[in-house]
Amino acid sequence: FQQWYSSSMKVICMWLADRLDLQLHIYQLKTLIKIVKKTYRDFRLQGVLEGTLNSKTYDTVHSRLTVEEATVSVTDAGGLQGITMKDSDE
């Protein structure tokens, strides 16, 4: 599971890196937020260690999506419709 999680986050990180100079479309952002949050939660429930879950790759993906989310919230009021990178238990 650890290898599966790591490779999943690496693919998302590489995809985002390829589009570093482009702003994500609202639908891309909403979909990626849902995928990343669900992947993180599901693999945490499967017993993947915190060190693996909170890797540098995950931090990079999380940071990029948080910045994109902030940009959308400033430019497009209500565009994300309650979808956010912030966990509901925070």
Cα 47 to Cα 19: distance, rounded to the nearest angstrom: 32
For 10-45, write each residue's pLDDT tens digit: 999 999 999 998 889 889 999 999 999 999 999 999
pLDDT surpasses 90 at 84: no
pTM: 0.83
Q: What confidence score (pLDDT) does residue 77 get?
A: 61
Query: Whole-number mean pLDDT of the chain?
Result: 87
Contact 40, 59 (CB under 8 A): no
For 6-16, write each residue's pLDDT tens digit: 999 999 999 99
Q: How many CA atoms lie within 13 A of 7 on its CB side?
A: 4
